[in-house]
Chains A and B, each alone.
Chain A
Amino acid sequence: MGVFINFILATLIVFAFFFDIWELLVFILFAVFVINWSPVMSVDIFVFAIIPIAAYAFHKVFAWTGWAAAPAAIVCGFILLYLAIAPAAFLASGNVFFVDLFGALIFGGLAFLTLDLR
C-alpha cells in the first residue's frame, strides 16, 4: 500500500529558510487547508504545522544558513513528527521512516537549490 512521502512538510521546512514568518504562515495554513482530512483539527495536523515554525525559529536564533541547514532541519523535523505522532510505529517500522525521510531530503534539497539560485 506504499509509503506516503511528506514532500509538503519538506517544502515547508525549506521555505522557513527563505520567507518571513507571515509568508511562511500563509504557506503552512494553505498546506493544512489542503491536507486536513477530518472535519475537526487533529494533533497530527497541529504537529505538522508547528514543525516549519520551529525550523524558522531555529534558523533565526542560530542564524545558520549554510547548505547543510535545510537538510539538518528536515531530518530533525521528520524525527520530531514521527516521535510526536506515532512513536511505536516509528520504532516498529523504521524502514517506512527512512524511505519517507530519503524522499523528503531529495525533494527538499531540490527545493532549497531552486530557491537559493533566485
Chain B
Amino acid sequence: MGRERSSNNRWVSGTLIVILLLLIFFIPSFGWTLRTWLSPALGGLAESNNASASQADSPTLAAQNDALQAQLATLQTVASQLPTSTSNTIRAMVYSRYPMNFRNELLVNAGANVGVTSGAAVMFQGMLIGQVQTVFENESLIQTIFDNNLKMPVRIGSAGTDGLLQGGADPVVGSIASTAAIAPGDVVYSAAPGIPYAQPIAEVVATSTSADSLFQQVTLSFPYDINNVETVLIMK
C-alpha cells in the first residue's frame, strides 16, 4: 500500500516536473503573469494609485522640477549644441524584475518587433532610469541606474561638471574634480554616448570627499521608487 502510494507520488511529481519544464522553457510569460498576481508590491501600488491624488502628484512634480532644472542647466551652457529634433519613444510595460540583490533589471514588453535597440535610453516621468541591455523579439531587458554594474558619464548642475555615475542600491556620482562647485539641489543629467544628452537622472543631496581625497563624490535623491515603475518610455 505504502509502496503504491509512493509510486503514485512519483508519477504526480514527474508529470508536474515535465509541465513546469515546458512552461519555463517555452512559455515563461505565464510565470511573469503569475508573479505579478503574487507580488504584494504591485497590489500596494494599485492601492496607492487609488488612495489620493496629492500622493501621486508629489513625485511627478519633483520629477518635472528636475527635468526643468536639467533643461535650464543645458540651455545655460550648451544651448547652441542641443539637437533640435524630437525623439521618438516606445511605451513599454514592465513584465518582471530581477529577483535577487545582485542586479537591478526590468523586463519590458517591447522588443525588436517594435524597433527597440540595444543601448537605447529608458525614461520614466521624464527621468532617465536606465538603458536597454538585451533585446529579444518581443521583450527587452533594461539595466537600471540602480544596478551594481552600471557606470555612466554624467554632468552636474548649470556648470556642467563632469562625473561618473556608479549604479547600486544607493547610486553615487564620483570622479568629480575636487575644485568643482556643487551644491545640494543641483541636477545630475546624462552625458553618455548612445544616450540623448542632458536627460535628468537625479538631484544632488550631499557632497563628500572620496576615500583617496582626490575627488568629490555626491549622493543622490530620486523622485520615484524604481520598485513602483510599471511603464517606461524607450527612446528610438
On A, residues with C-beta under 8 Å from B are 1-4, 6, 20, 22-23, 25-26, 29-30, 32-41, 44, 48, 81-82, 85-86, 89, 93, 96, 100
On B, residues with C-beta under 8 Å from A are 9-10, 13-14, 16-17, 20-21, 23-25, 28, 30-32, 34-35, 38, 95-105, 107, 136, 139, 141, 146, 148, 168-170, 225-227
* Alpha-carbon distance between A58 and B182 when the two chains are bound, in angstroms: 55
Which residue of chain B has its CB nearest to the CB of A33?
Answer: B31
Which residue of chain B has its CB nearest to the CB of A90?
Answer: B102
| Contact call B10/A38, Cβ cutoff below 8 A | no
| Contact call B16/A4, Cβ cutoff below 8 A | no
| Contact call B35/A23, Cβ cutoff below 8 A | no
Question: Nearest Cβ in chain A — how far from B182, in angstroms?
Answer: 23
In the complex, chain A residues whose CB is within 8 Å of the CB of B141: 38
Question: Nearest Cβ in chain A — how far from B25, in angstroms?
Answer: 7
| Contact call A89/B34, Cβ cutoff below 8 A | no
Find B13's partner among A22, A37, A86, A96 (CB 8 Å cutoff): A22
Given A30-B20, A34-B35, A22 contacting B98 (CB threshold 8 A): no
Find B226's partner among A1, A40, A44, A100 (CB 8 Å cutoff): A1
- Select the residue from B9, B28, B100, B227 with max chain A CB neighbours within 10 A: B100
In the complex, chain B residues whose CB is within 8 Å of the CB of A93: 148, 168-169
In the complex, chain A residues whose CB is within 8 Å of the CB of B32: 37
Given A3-B169, A25-B17, A34-B34, A39 contacting B99 (CB threshold 8 A): no
* Contact sample, A vs B, 8 pairs, CB 8 Å cutoff: A2-B227, A22-B9, A22-B14, A22-B17, A23-B9, A23-B13, A35-B31, A37-B96
Question: Nearest Cβ in chain A — how far from B169, in angstroms?
Answer: 5
